[in-house]
Amino acid sequence: MAAADLAQIADVDIDPDGVFKYVLIRVHTAPPSEAPAGKSKEIVRGYKWAEYHADIYDKVSSEMQKKGYSCECLGGGRISHQSQDKKIHVYGYSMDRPRPGPEGPRARTAHLGGQLTLGAQGGLATSGSSGPPP
């Protein structure tokens, strides 16, 4: 796999509306211990159907493995997405996954346009509330 192949993987795939869990995943062109610098990318996946963060990670990593990639979970939390109002609020953290820093979700979801806020709960951000916006 070439680094150019990573460009074919969407940076963000989240449900258009609602409050749901998300995970921040690093996708590698080779196992992490063998991947040369620059041969990986971070992606965000979030879906209402997921009861647990692990449900999302397991599904995405399985799909990526079938395409020859390897994955590692960098963390997770919750997203409140209001696509009509162009608002995304990222907050919280996963009890069974690492806590991602604010740069991952911010960088990956910012291109969706509109207002992005990050909640302080779980060390994710510097502004906003710890829960979904009112």
Please list the active-site residues: 53
Please give the distance of CA 74 from its chain centroid, rounded to a whole number.
Answer: 8
Alpha helix segments (H runs only) across 13-128:
53-66, 103-109
What span, in angstroms and rounded, lies between the C-alpha atoms of 93 and 95?
A: 6
How many angstroms separate the CA atoms of 66 and 55, rounded? 17
**CA–CA separation, 21 and 86 (whole Å):** 18
Q: What is the DSSP letter of 3?
A: H
- How many residues belong to the chain? 134
